[in-house]
Copies of this chain bind each other. A is one copy, B any other.
Amino acid sequence: MTSIDEYMTGLGRRARRASRAMARASTAAKNAALDAIADAIERDRAELKDANARDLARARDKGHDAAFIDRLTLSDKALNTMIEGLRQVAALADPIGEISGLKFRPTGIQVGQMRVPLGVIGIIYESRPNVTIDAAALCLKSGNAAILRGGSEALECNAALAKLISEGLEAAGLPQDAVQVVSTADRAAVGKLITMTEYVDVIVPRGGKSLIARLMEEARVPMIKHLDGICHVYVDDRADLTKALNVCDNAKTHRYGTCNTMETLLIARGIAAEALPLLAKAFKAKDVELRVDAASRAVLDHARHDGALVDATEADWSTEYLAPVLSIKLVDGLDAAIDHINTYSSHHTDAIITEDHDRAMRFLREVDSASVMVNASTRFADGFEFGLGAEIGISNDKLHARGPVGLDGLTSLKYVVFGHGEIRN
């Protein structure tokens, strides 16, 4: 066993022990810990920024770009968001211990399901210190123990945050091992974390596609993971044009870099002559590059669209641009739209714009994606917008949690049986 193996096994063993105490922790104790952590961050702003400054200096020396430095920076605004996030999670209802569906069976036993923590959650993320607090807060509130492994460039401020989390847990009488931050930058630590099935119940990776693809190769612990978001809006020939324009504009241009941004626009042939020129004009006004199939080009040429068009290739239908680029395709109608989406979508979020009830309901049922929408922007696919109160991530998986994952996604249901001495015949 290497020393990294030993170190990680130690973290795992302590996390497993702490998870048992967390599973029976009272709501009051968990909330007190969250509040104490928020207070400590408030108090130690200066120290946190000092630690962060050392991380930032090293990151600049290594030549990281401005976007990286931005994500790594612990500004006052970032600290405020952390503090507010902790208070918000404290204010959420405690999901643990809820018993649902308790029913008597003919044998006399009463059977229901109790919501319980998963146990030990491993979170792997890049150099964004805010995730340290977000993830700790959600794991803590849901009664889990957490092992956090942030990007190596944030080691100093993550260590400083870990100290405050530990202090908050202790103040509330909870085990300090309930949240542990991996203190080594060695990559082997990640390899161990995602394979020690004995101590870790689930891994939540938060980061880019390349991180997740790498983890998928090696992980033996189940993951709640999010890959890409190739989201579609289908404008049906029974669409309301105003809704179509508003929703498509918002779905594409509200933010370009998010996973719930529209990447492909499908338009029913029957409404293309009317809708497509208006849509193209709106996108041109915002400098969105349009990659069109031949039929769309014909419609836009006929309408004398005043703007550049790029010919879409097969690769465009399966590309997540995360940029002011949109692919556009004409389809015969609902069936063709559903076929295209089920073939090319990343099963994240897809929407239909239509006034037709049957088509709306068919789209909802038949499109195989985590979030399916009628007459609403794909940008709504988000834990807060959906009312989950918090979000640990968005799951592209079908098992366990699907779509935005809130506190409930960090729990499972076990069966509880209330008897009176019943035996089986």
Contact = CB atoms under 8 A, between A and B. Distances in A.
Contacts of A202: 398-399
A105 B365 contact: no
A419 B351 CA distance: 10
Interface stretch (A45-53, A112-120, A178-186, A286-294): A112-120
Interface residues of A, number: 67
A364 interface: yes
Contact of A424 (B240, B250, B418, B423): B250
Interface string A206-232: 000000000000000010000000000
A415 B371 contact: yes
Interface in A365-383: 365-366, 368-377, 379-381
A277 interface: no
A115 to B, nearest CB: 10
A201 B254 CA distance: 33
Interface centre among A370, A402, A414 (most CB of B within 10 A): A414
A403 interface: yes
A23 interface: yes
B201 A417 contact: no
B116 A373 contact: no
A399 B240 contact: no
A421 to B, nearest CB: 3
A81 interface: no
Nearest to A403: B415
Contacts of A415: 370-372, 381, 386, 402-404
A13 interface: no
A376 B103 contact: no
A43 interface: no
Contacts of A422: 247, 375-377, 380
A332 interface: no
Contacts of A418: 373-376
A424 B387 contact: no
Q: How many copies does the complex hold?
A: 2
A414 B372 contact: yes
A372 B417 contact: yes
A152 interface: no
A24 interface: yes
Contact of A386 (B111, B251, B400): B111
Nearest to A371: B415
A118 B421 contact: no
Interface centre among A243, A387, A403, A422 (most CB of B within 10 A): A422
Contacts of A381: 415, 417
A400 B413 CA distance: 9
A188 to B, nearest CB: 22
Contact of A416 (B23, B246, B373, B420): B373
A88 interface: no
A2 interface: no
A221 to B, nearest CB: 10
8 contacts: A114-B365, A116-B365, A201-B399, A240-B421, A250-B424, A370-B415, A375-B420, A402-B413
Given A23-B366, A364-B416, 8 more contacts: A107-B385, A109-B376, A201-B398, A370-B415, A376-B417, A380-B419, A381-B417, A385-B424
Interface of A: 20, 23-24, 97, 103, 105, 107, 109, 111, 114, 116, 118-119, 201-202, 222, 240, 242-243, 246-247, 249-251, 254, 342, 351, 362, 364-366, 368-377, 379-381, 385-387, 397-400, 402-404, 412-424
